[in-house]
Amino acid sequence: MTLSSELLAVLACPEDKGPLLYFGDEGGLYNPRLQRRYSVKEGIPIMLIDEAEAVNDADHLELVAKAESEGITPTF
């Protein structure tokens, strides 16, 4: 399930209020500035700071490269 463009246009990281990268195939939203991933379950973004997953440096580099190669742009 993918998130609507209308929802993506208003989603921001709850911690730093910045834009996120949406990886629909992985079911997650990613904040590259804080290296945190927010999951999307059954089409609902789980935007709780305490529920965010920390991403290690190697996975961060992979996600940033994937976003660049696939043309994934920030949410707003």
Q: What CATH number is given to the structural domain containing 43? A: 2.20.25.10
pLDDT at residue 58, rounded to an integer: 98
Q: Residue 57 has which token pair? A: 């440096």
pLDDT of residue 59: 98
User: Model-level pTM?
Assistant: 0.94
- Phi then psi dihedrals of residue 35, to 5 deg: 55, 55
pLDDT at 38: 98
In a domain, 75, yes or no: no
Give the tens place of pLDDT for each residue, 4-26: 999 999 999 999 999 999 999 99
Decide if 61 is inside a domain: yes
Q: What is the DSSP letter of 16?
A: T
Q: How many domains does the chain have?
A: 1
| CA–CA separation, 53 and 1 (whole Å) | 20
Would residue 11 count as lying in a domain?
A: yes
37-73 pLDDT per residue, tens: 999 999 999 999 999 999 999 999 999 999 999 999 9
Domain hosting residue 13, numbered range: 5-70
Q: Give domain status of residue 76, yes or no.
A: no
Whether 44 maps to a domain, the answer reads yes
In a domain, 29, yes or no: yes
